[in-house]
Chain A
Amino acid sequence: MSLSPAPSSTAAWAEAARIPVPFVYYQCPCRNLRASQGDVLSFDSLTQPPQGADILTLFPLPRLYFCQECARMCCPLCVAEEIACYYCPNCLFEVPTASVKAERNRCGRNCFECPVCENTLSVVSMVEPTPLAGAGGAGPAAIPASPGGSSSNNTHYLTCGACRWDSLEVGLQFERPTGLASQLQPHEDARKDAIEFENLRQHFEKFLKSKDANGPTPASHVGAGGLLRGLSGGGLNLPPSLLATIPGLASFASMSRRSSTLRAIRAEHKLEAYSSSVDLLKADDADRESAVVLSTSVTSLQQRLHQPNDHAVHKTALYPQRIQLRTKRSKRCRKCDHIVVKPEHKAQSTRFSIKMMASNHVPSITLAHPFPDKLEWDVPVRVIVRFTNPLDVPIQVALATAQSTIGTATADRTSQDLQNEPEEGNCQITLLAPNFVVDAARDIWDYDDDAATPAATLPVAVHQKARNFCCVYVQVTPKRPGSRQPSSEPARFVVETIKFSMLVHVQPLGHEQTSSTEVPGPEETAGTAAKPDKKAAGPLSCWVVIGLGDLIP
């Protein structure tokens, strides 16, 4: 068993989508929600194990959220994100949503990033060389002034602590050490590309205004268009890309926009030709070629992408960029619209007022020591899987494999029944302990020192049981997929990841007993959600895919 194999170059696409082994990934139930008709998860919808393409619905436990209303896990794909606040990561200033657009999503105060290495720049003061100092002879021409003693003839410039770039290289210096962005504003507005953009905007605005004046718009269209314009241009400040992600709205928006544009064109017939007033990007080609030949003066791709205005080719044209704002986002369950994650609004605070993580509600499953020495075709190995209970009540765990879930899903079955054919995966697995109980989680000082159950009294196939975890054996036999790869064709060197899927059903053994001996049924979401005791959650089942390692033939 090699845990960190060198990726083989064959089947590059499949390799790219491969999860590094070993792993334990959970499948979010949202896939089944979408597949089934209603909102209620039916047990039938869980009978299919994750197939090849479902790799995108598999997540490690720390990435999953938990919705208490629906009593289900939510993956990053099935939560809706909302921006809670914008802030600058450097000065931690919280930017009001209304002014984010005007500041072009960048910090409008004193924060700049280095155009060479993307580090944060710092402001340094420098005393102008005065005639006196020059007369002194030995004195340095420029002395970095102490921050307190700033005299009137100080100049200030930006400098990078990592790569030693400074803004004097591009001839940039400031009179005051504060409000640098506003001091730079006139300079930025005078750039060729900024002027060109402004001209273009004026040109099209003129056209759109005349369109609005000419076109007698029916009320219905005004409604939709107005709403959308209000959404994207007004107080809410939603980017058009966000609108496009709302399924119904996007097509509607484009349709209404198209129809109104068509109408306008009919009214206006033509848009007058735009002639560029700025001589931009014309003589650049020859310039670029000569620059590329002298390759030391050319910017790297990364540096160019960080200069969104003109994608400067010459290193001398690199310009400090204001630092991009970051966002804090709250997340809602898409199904019931309840908030699962809500950060505190203050930029300085790293806490969350609501944070419903799946790791606090769903047992965490890990592979435990000792690992099998080696994986070989047709050689059974015993793998120890550890279940750790985060809840303050004991849980009853029932395991099943793909084969055993078909038909009647009874909780009590013998291990012989669970022998199954090699399914989608490449191994045959036998669950030696399909049912077991994991004790409740308590504070660490509440556990007894010798709490581990002595080995003699352990149930069959339970390796270890202590505190709030339980380790069980699973027997895994890697089976060569015979049909796919006949043994007569050994030329292809394919690394097989030995993985299997397992249906895990968790039933909290709460203070008040639910219908205990019954079949672990579907998630009765509506019933359990209303209960006041939050911790006594309802039953939960999901598919878990466990990757053991790579088998290199």
Chain B
Amino acid sequence: MAATLPSVICDDSIIEGDIIVGSANVVSPKCSITVAKPGSRIVIGDGNVFEENVKIVHSGDGEMKIGDNNIFQVGCVFEGLSIGSGSTIEAGANVLGTARIGSNCVLGAKCTTSTALPDNTVVFGTAHIRRVQTRSNRLQANLHARHLEYLREVLPKYHHMRSD
């Protein structure tokens, strides 16, 4: 839908290492995406939202893959191997170690996972309970598109943008 738009990356964010960023992503201020080892890289798809204080850390070898239309909410930490498309990592959640997140997953607020989440998995509550959601991804796609549109419009009014 917004495939040709450039990504909106705030100047106040940290992006270090070999990172390939797709189109129409939004990187909020105070957000850091880092590759620790030389030789490894992060590949980011299209239309992802990285909110404030999000930390994406790739400390292993090889490639960390981030799909399309994911949303990383405030203060979450992602250290996993890959994430599919249309997933939500809610505020304060942690994806540790070698976890792989599927598509259309929800990792609830303050939840932690160090194991893989298959597609459509929801993790919620203090006990990090898992269940499979039946809601279609398409239902959320429209909402996500409008979210992206709004951020693209509003963020440049209040923050310096990275020009590259």
Q: Using a CB–CB distance below 8 Å, which chain A residues touch chain B?
A: 116-117, 126, 140-144, 159, 162-166, 168-169
Contacts and interface: CB of A to CB of B under 8 A. Distances in A.
Contacts of B106: 164
Interface string B91-135: 000000000000000101000000000000010110001010111
A132 B30 CA distance: 44
Contacts of A116: 131
B129 A142 contact: no
Interface stretch (B48-56, B66-74, B75-83, B138-146): B138-146
- Counting contact residues on chain B (CB < 8 A from A), the size range is 10 to 19
B134 A168 contact: yes
Interface residues of B: mostly helix, strand, loop or mixed? mixed
B138 A142 contact: yes
A163 B125 contact: yes
For the complex of A and B, the 10 pairs showing the least CB-CB separation, nearest first, are: A164-B133, A163-B124, A140-B138, A164-B122, A162-B124, A143-B142, A169-B134, A163-B122, A140-B142, A142-B139
B129 A144 contact: no
Contacts of A159: 135
Given A117-B125, A162-B124, A163-B122, A144 B142 contact: yes
Contacts, number: 41
Contact of B131 (A140, A141, A144, A163): A163
A97 B139 CA distance: 42
Nearest to B108: A162
A169 to B, nearest CB: 6
Interface of B: 106, 108, 122, 124-125, 129, 131, 133-136, 138-139, 141-143
A159 B133 CA distance: 11
B123 to A, nearest CB: 9
A403 B142 CA distance: 77
A241 B136 CA distance: 47
A275 to B, nearest CB: 40
Nearest to B133: A164
A164 B143 contact: no
Interface residues of A: mostly helix, strand, loop or mixed? loop
Contact of A117 (B129, B135, B138, B143): B129
Contacts of B122: 163-164
30 contacts: A116-B131, A117-B125, A117-B129, A126-B139, A140-B138, A140-B141, A140-B142, A141-B136, A142-B136, A142-B139, A143-B142, A144-B139, A144-B142, A159-B135, A162-B108, A162-B124, A163-B108, A163-B122, A163-B124, A163-B125, A163-B129, A163-B131, A164-B106, A164-B122, A164-B124, A164-B135, A165-B131, A165-B133, A166-B135, A168-B135
A164 B108 CA distance: 10
Given A162-B108, A162-B125, 6 more contacts: A140-B141, A163-B122, A163-B125, A163-B131, A164-B124, A165-B133
B47 to A, nearest CB: 15
Contacts of A117: 124-125, 129
B92 to A, nearest CB: 14
A492 to B, nearest CB: 36
A142 to B, nearest CB: 6
A438 to B, nearest CB: 43
A140 B135 contact: no
Nearest to B105: A164
Nearest to A162: B124
A385 to B, nearest CB: 38
Contacts of B143: 144
Nearest to A163: B124
A166 B131 CA distance: 13
Nearest to B104: A164
Nearest to B123: A163
A140 B133 contact: no
A420 B129 CA distance: 56
A462 B129 CA distance: 55
A139 B135 CA distance: 17
Contacts of B141: 140
A126 B143 CA distance: 12
Contacts of B138: 140-142
A312 to B, nearest CB: 15
Contacts of A141: 136, 138
A272 B24 CA distance: 75
